[in-house]
Amino acid sequence: MTFTTTQEIPVKPSKQIEEVSKWWLKSVAASRESQSLAEVRDINENWQSLTAEPGSVDYIEVDAGGVQAMWAIPKECFGDRVLLCVHGGGFFSGSMYTHRKLYGHFAKDVGCRALIIHYRRSPEHVHPAQVNDVVTAYRWLLGQGIQAGHIAIVGDSAGGGLAVTSTLLIRDKGLPMPAAVMPFSAWFDMEVTGESVESNKGEDLLLNREWLIEMAQMRLGKEGNPKDRYANPFYDDLKGLPPVYLQVGGDELLLDDSITLAKRAKAAGIDVRLDIFPGMQHTFQMAVGRAPEANDAIARYVNWIKPKLGLK
């Protein structure tokens, strides 16, 4: 296992990332003051403003085996390699539209297509609806003739957790495994027990313990179990996972989620890498195209995944 603290990124954030963080914080504050779930979702649709338009990428909506999804197709890309992208948003918000540009950057820089799925959201659809939708989309890709070894699963925040738990479900269903999994700022622990939830209190500008607990309860439903292994991978054996590369900001409440997952993956014999970015906030990668820290983080993912997909 490789633990990397990206020391070349200064602890003092760039002006660009500070501006993005201020906008992000205003959006979160507005959503918390909203009176309805619909209002919160509408406000959160503005997250796409965090990300610069990648350019030279076409977007086509598609039905992926019954799951609403969107292709991000860069010009002159390899059509037989695919990033299966799972958006964040606490399981109840975010969409393929909020993350279109983010994963468009991933696809363009890797030189392949990205399938961004719009999974069923809580509280209307509780666990395991979300993880099932990811697996359904994966099956659909296989049915389209895409080789499993030419697919990587990537996700941010709640989507990062789903990237791992869906791969565990893929394994348990006996399906061929993807080439790799790339969770960033991932949320794994539905019990919200990480030490960083307290130690980074006040440093994390976006999340708090109470909000995490509320979102977990919405996701699991009244009868849900926070120890369900397809909701919380800390209660599963991670053996058989493909290579995993995690990124997380040093100021995140969810910092320990990534550290714990990396340790458990190492113990299971998995090829795992973890990069911790000092001074960075939750899902800072969404500022790609606008901030050097985000650009660097995406470039690290690109350099790591290309050879695993058989690309130079």
The residues that are catalytic are 157, 252, 282
Tokens of 288: 């790609």
Tokens read off for 262: 């990396």
CA angle 208, 213, 214 (to 5 degrees): 100
Give the whole-angstrom CA distance, residue 270 versus residue 1. Answer: 8
Strand-by-strand arrangement of the 180-184 sheet:
2-5, 272-277, 244-249, 180-184, 151-156, 78-86, 112-117, 67-74, 57-64
Return the exposure string of 63-95: e unless at least 16 CB atoms fall within 10 Å of the residue's CB, then b.
ebbebbbbbbbbeebeeebbbbbbbbbbbbbbb
| Structure tokens belonging to residue 122 | 């809580």
Please work out, in degrees rounded to the nearest 5, the angle formed at the alpha carbon of residue 160 by the alpha carbons of 129 and 203.
125
Q: How far is CA 209 from CA 89, 197, 228, in A?
A: 15, 6, 20
* Nearest residue to 53 via CA among 103, 127, 87, 11: 103
Query: Computed over its alpha carbons, how large is the radius of gyration of the chain?
Result: 18
The Cα–Cα gap between 67 and 76 comes to 26
Q: What is the DSSP string of 147-213?
A: -GGGEEEEEETHHHHHHHHHHHHHHHTTPPPPSEEEEES----TT---THHHHTTTT-SS--HHHHH
